[in-house]
Structure 1
Amino acid sequence: MNLKPLTPDASPRAAFGAELRSMREGLGMTQDHLSQRTGYSPGHISSVETGRKSPTLPFAQKVDRAFGSGTKFANLFLDVRASALLQGFGHYVAHEAKATELRLFEVGIIPGLLQTLEYAAVLATASVNRGSITEAQAAERLDVLASRQALITRQPPAQLYAVLDESCIRRPIGGPEVMSAQLEWLVELAGLPNMTLQIAPYAMGESRSLDLPVYLLGLPDRSTAAYSESAQQGLFERDPEAVHRLLTAYHHLQVEALPQAASVALISKAREEIQ
């Protein structure tokens, strides 16, 4: 049989398929054997391996049971589900949902957890218009965001600390109506008992300790994980030394940023200026 060459670096879907074939063959299992163990046809398995079909969570879970691979393929599926975003983001989202504490810093754009639906939709549509993602991926992006935002209101809620560079509230997104509503929503969020919201003003200059977006998760086992992004890929970090450096920089940022009352006043002023 002539197997179709796989290109795992092409996309999260391709990476899932390549890993599926690699593990199946490593276990000496044919597609027929895997079909018998999962209930999916050999043709379906072949289509997932070659990237012609996208896996589903039930499929990934049945593959994990068939291979005895724990949650390996369920975790890989998270990257496929978040394929409208950067590769690696799915792993972050899985841990974010379990976090008891979240510290975030963002530049230029209101972070997803704090976005209104209208603001998020404008950004997704702009990506479609640029050809960066498809309309289906834009819808997927909004679905993922909506599920993530449950972190704020779940019971018990996670404790959230957000430091936004002033550029986040100054950059006009979606026109006056969308931007005004977004800034009003930030003010409302600042009133939640589990939320601390600060602005890092332009006047901080070189004293701002972080230059790129960073997310720090406090997890139920009392460990801390970090997520950061480059232009091409997201990095989910569990190494204690690397995470500690980012956490230290974040603490410096919180000290230097405006306190919450002054931050809310600045957001309200920015909102008045766009009306």
Structure 2
Amino acid sequence: MNIKKLNPESSAKAAYGARLRGLRIERGWTQEWLGIEIGYSSTHISSVETGRKLATLRFSRSTDRALGLVGSDASFERELSRIKFGSMLEGFPEFLIYEGRAAEIRLYEVGVMPGLLQTPEYARVLADSVVKRKAITPVQAEERIALVAERQAALVRDDPPLVFAMLDESCLRRPVGSPEVMRAQMDRLIEFAEQPHTVIQVAPFDMGEHRPFSLPITILTMPDRSLMSYAESAQQGYLERESSSVVPHLTAYHQLQAAAPSQAASVDMFWQLRKGF
């Protein structure tokens, strides 16, 4: 059999494929056998191993289960995340893995709509603005836009997470793109509020010092009820797993929810702002 020689140093995609082939051969598995284990054709596996095709999240998770790598630092899911989101802040790709599995998501955002709530048009304006500053490439911008859709897909899965969204009023007042973009974004917030597994509230400017957070934060409750939080500086993302550090954030989040206007009042604000754009 003519086996194509691989060069794992040529690209991250090639390194992924080469490692997959190496682990498969170590176990004495053929491509056909691995395909049966993970539900893909041998042709598809060959394309991934030779770098002709980038693996998907589903492929990576299935491979991790077959190879016993689920949740480990060596998992293909983590490797795929590093490939796809290399232009993101350090720490963010790891956070995305946990966000996609969370049973409950509590987020607080300042200044810009959170990714889980952005329309494609809003996401494109933000990504294009970063390209204009030459901070990322057009290809990376497209990856960011695709990431928004991928993250939101978790909200409509068979067993979706409970999502509590707290938006600082600055998220609503800051114009992004055209009036049409902002009206569509307000529509998105209104639709989000109507879902059975979501709650959305606005922290208005007049809450002043009663807002416990000055920077964005996300708190995740995992299926086993463990907690973690994620926050960012200008240079790096920080994923905190120690409950002793996360519980005070959760308490502050509950206090913020109690002090903020209700969801009904917040939706009224969305409607009023929509008329003004």
Amino acid at match of 2:110: V
Is the contact made by 1:102 and 1:159 (CA closer than 8 Å) also made in structure 2?
yes
Query: Deviation digits for residues 234-262 of structure 1, max 9, x if unmatched?
Result: 11111111111211121111111111000
Q: Percent identity?
A: 42
Q: Within 5 Å, which residues of 2 pair with 1:96-107? A: 96-107=99-110
Choose the corresponding residue for 2:194, options 184, 191, 205. 191
* Counterpart secondary structure, 1:216: strand
Per-residue CA distance 1:9-57 (angstroms, 9 max, x = gap): xxxxxxxxxxxxxxxxxxxxxxxxxxxxxx8846x2233xxxxx22365
> Which AA in structure 2 matches 1:182?
Q
Do the aligned residues in 1 keep the contact of 2:230 with 2:239 (CA within 8 Å)? yes
Deviation at 1:182, TM superposition (A): 0.3
Deviation at 1:61, TM superposition (A): 4.8
Could you tell me which residue of structure 1 aligns to residue 142 of structure 2? Answer: 139
Q: Superposed, which structure 2 residues align to 1:236-251 within 5 Å?
A: 236-251=239-254
CA distance in structure 2 between the aligned counterparts of 1:59 and 1:145, rounded to whole angstroms: 29
User: By how many angstroms is 1:80 displaced?
Assistant: 3.0
Give me the CA root mean square deviation: 2.1
- Which amino acid is the alignment partner of residue 46 of structure 1? E
1:215-230 to 2 correspondences below 5 Å: 215-230=218-233
- Are the equivalent residues in 2 in contact too, given 1:102–1:216 (CA < 8 A)? yes
Distance 1:58 1:178, change over 3 A: same
CA distance in 1, matches of 2:128, 2:143: 12
1:84 CA displacement: 2.8
- Alpha-carbon distance between aligned partners in 2 of 1:214 and 1:254, rounded to the nearest angstrom: 14
Q: For residues 126 and 153 of structure 2, what CA distance do their matches in structure 1 show?
A: 20
Task: Map 1:118-133 to 2 at 5 A.
Answer: 118-133=121-136
Structure 2: which amino acid aligns with 1:197?
I
Can you list the C-alpha shifts for 1:182-232, whole angstroms capped at 9, x where unaligned?
Answer: 011101110101110000000000110011111111111110111111101
Aligned residue in 1 for 2:13: 55
Among residues 1, 4, 8, which one is paired with 1:45 in the alignment? 8
What SS does the corresponding residue of 2:231 show, helix, strand or coil?
Answer: strand
Out of 147, 163, 168, the residue aligned to residue 160 of structure 1 is 163
The alpha carbon displacement at 1:72 in A equals 2.1
Q: Taking structure 1 as the reference length, what is the TM-score of the superposition?
A: 0.78
Cα offset for 1:140?
A: 0.9
What is the CA–CA distance in structure 2 between the aligned matches of 1:63 and 1:251, rounded to whole Å?
Answer: 49
Gaps of 5+ in 2: 28-66
Partner of 1:19: none
CA positional deviation for 1:59: 4.8
- Paired with 2:166 and 2:22, the residues of 1 have a C-alpha distance of 41
Instruction: Provide the C-alpha distance between the structure 1 equivalents of 2:21 and 2:107, rounded to a whole number of angstroms.
Output: 35
* Residue 262 of structure 1, aligned match among 262, 265, 270: 265
8 Å Cα contact 2:216-2:231 kept in structure 1:
yes
Question: Which residue does the alignment assign to 1:210?
Answer: 213
| Contact in 1 for aligned 2:8/2:18 (Cα 8 Å) | no
* TM-score of the aligned structures, taking structure 2 as reference length: 0.77
Query: Could you tell which deviates more after superposition, 148-157 or 122-131?
Result: 148-157
State the one-letter code of the partner of 2:91.
G
| Alignment partner, residue 84 of structure 1 | 87
Q: Per the alignment, do residues 191 and 41 of structure 1 end up closer, same or farther by CA in structure 2, a change over 3 Å counting?
A: same
Shift of 1:77: 3.6
Q: Which residue, out of 116, 130, 139, partners 2:119?
A: 116
Q: Taking structure 1 as reference, are residues 213 and 41 closer, same or farther at Cα in structure 2, changes over 3 Å only?
A: farther
Specify the code of the residue in structure 2 equivalent to 1:114.
L
Counterpart in 1 of 2:57? none
> Does structure 1 retain, via aligned residues, the 8 Å contact 2:128–2:141?
yes
